[in-house]
Amino acid sequence: MPPPPAFAETMDMADLTRRSVLTGAAAAAMVPLLRIPGAKARTPGILTFGISSFPPSVQPWANAGTASATVKLALYRGLTSYGPDGKLRGELAESWAPEGKNVWVFKLRDATFSNGDKVTSADVKWTIEQVAGEKSTAFLRNEMQGVEKIETPDDKTVRLTMKQPSATLPLLMASYHMPIMSKASTASQQIGAGPFILKDAERGVSMDLEANPKYYRPGLPKLKGIRVMVYADENLRVAALQSGDVDLIEYVPWQAMTSIEQNAQLKLDAVDGPFMSLIFNGSRPPFNDPKVRKAVAHAIRREEIVKSAFFGRGAPLAHLPIPKASPFFNADLAEGWAYNPDLSKKLLAEAGHGGGLSCKLLSTAQYGMHKDTAEVVQQHLAAVGINVELNLPDWATRVALGNRGQYDLAVMGTSADSNDPDGLSAYVDGSLSPSYVRSFNLSIPKLTELFQAGREEFDEAKRKAIYHELEQVAIDQVPMVGLALRSQGYAMRKDVTGFTNMPGALTFYSGETFETTSVG
């Protein structure tokens, strides 16, 4: 029997813990201010992980941020996933293949859920139906509503008929927002098939994961468990690693990367994946004009953003952020929106703003990288005659103003959903409903058309041609302005092995490799 309609909304952290939330600790994500007693006395086989915030939930199909995603990658598995090299691989599905352009057939491997039940095609069908349901709040609800029919001819076969051709469906099934859950799951018990099981939690403080003895990959996980500790203060997080209180930390602050590299007891694993960009309000002048948007794109010396906001840990980004790790990366577009203030002035004059213009730039003072990026942009735009007034509210206000389109241009920092160009559609396709992550009311029909064409094309060479055209349209029409790739780092003690910071946009999928991690 399916769970009640509120299933997706009620499956929160409270449902997953055996111990009651500590009185007085439930408020905010509390940071341990003192060294954890006995933290240095390691428990053999237990990895202590310093995380930047306490996951607000580990609902399997909800988007609750990267901290939640990292934990979900330890608890759950989907039909597909990504290997440490960033390549798509089978998980609960051992193989998949298209039948024509509208049908995908997935063959399941022998696997069990954490309760010992076999993973069957009925569980896959149930999962997709829950995600696509009328009252679902799942992050990929719209995408799963693209499934027209689900057939389960036997326990190991799932046949999905799509409403439209979808070459990217196997990528969607690799999302950490799309794990396959047992149909026996309830609001009080979520049953996944990941390498670990959540055994305990103190909201805002810590989580305890233990190895799933029924995990389907032989010999994995290598750890007996993971102790997740919250260190919201980045300096405390680094100090905890340096002192031996934790074995691994995420979100290494850029200013600490050099000292970690120079510490013989530690190692840094960093990749350029997430990116900073500018987005526009396309509903009114002056940024409804592509010439003005392009003038902005060519006015910024991106190396200064990398230096100022990221201590040199990153790379200039003068085109759409399709990472080098992607087979669709186009090296010929490296110049893209190259710094050219003379061209910026010329474009402004052609657009009727030869005498300059004034506007407001929305960012936030809550995160240094956003504030620093905004200040560099303000300085460079002033040099070409665009006078910018900064609006730097807290992050929640920044999001609200962005969703309502109450800005002229705005700083954005995020990561694509995958290394595939289709993972950028949420940030570039203006036909989608308003969101703070993309330009407001800035629809470029040709881009929408090309994204759809890319999804429907199964030939990789033809997909490359489509995305190369899409990138050129973006350079000409400027739906957003790429500014900088930022280095995203994990740091760990030298005796931690098997944990990999995955390439490009997949850095936030690195929790997938907890299954191969060992310590000591």
pLDDT tens digit sequence for 468-489: 999 999 999 999 999 999 999 9
Query: What CA–CA distance (Å, rounded) separates 321 from 426?
Result: 13
Angle of helix 341-350 versus helix 290-297 axis, rounded to 10: 170
Residues 246 and 281 in one domain: no
Give, in order, the Cα–Cα distances in Å from 61 to each of 31, 70, 126, 127, 365. Answer: 27, 13, 13, 9, 31
| DSSP state, residue 92 | S
Peptide bond into 221 cis (omega under 30): yes
pLDDT at 40: 56
Residues 145 and 193 in one domain: yes
3-class DSSP string for 305-357: HHHHHHCCCEEECCCCCCCCCCCCCCHHHCCCCCCCHHHHHHHHHHCCCCCCE
Within a domain: 205: yes
Residues 340 and 466 in one domain: yes
pLDDT tens digit sequence for 409-442: 999 998 888 899 998 998 999 998 888 999 999 9
Q: How confident is the model at residue 41 (pLDDT cuts 50, 70, 90)?
A: low
Within a domain: 266: no
Residue 491: what are its φ and ψ, rounded to 5°? Answer: -130, 150
Within a domain: 58: yes
Residues 183 and 294 in one domain: no
Q: Which residues contact 424 (CB under 8 A, 6 or more apart)?
A: 320, 321, 322, 416, 417
Helix (H, G, I), strand (E, B) or coil at 198: strand
Residues 99 and 236 in one domain: yes
How far is C-alpha 38 from the chain's CA centre? Answer: 34
How far is C-alpha 302 from the chain's CA centre? Answer: 23
Query: What CA–CA distance (Å, rounded) separates 437 from 402?
Result: 8
Residues 290 and 400 in one domain: yes
pLDDT at 188: 79
Residues 224 and 139 in one domain: yes
Q: How many domains does the chain have?
A: 2
Residues 297 and 357 in one domain: yes
Residue 26 in this model has a pLDDT that exceeds 80: no
pLDDT tens digit sequence for 204-225: 999 999 999 999 999 999 999 9
Within a domain: 364: yes
Q: What is the CATH number of the domain that holds 367?
A: 3.10.105.10
Within a domain: 2: no
Q: How confident is the model at residue 168 (pLDDT cuts 50, 70, 90)?
A: very high
Within a domain: 420: yes
pLDDT tens digit sequence for 65-121: 888 999 999 999 999 999 999 999 999 999 999 999 899 999 999 999 999 999 999
Asked which of 36-45, 165-174, 285-294, 300-309 is least confident by mean pLDDT, the reply is 36-45
pLDDT tens digit sequence for 117-142: 999 999 999 999 999 999 898 989 98
Residue 478 is part of which domain span?
272-486
Residues 135 and 41 in one domain: yes
Residues 94 and 170 in one domain: yes
Within a domain: 261: no
Q: What is the CATH number of the domain that holds 14?
A: 3.40.190.10
Residues 433 and 360 in one domain: yes
- Mean pLDDT over 454-465 rounds to 94
The CA-based angle 502-505-506, given to 5 degrees, is 35
Within a domain: 120: yes
Residues 172 and 281 in one domain: no
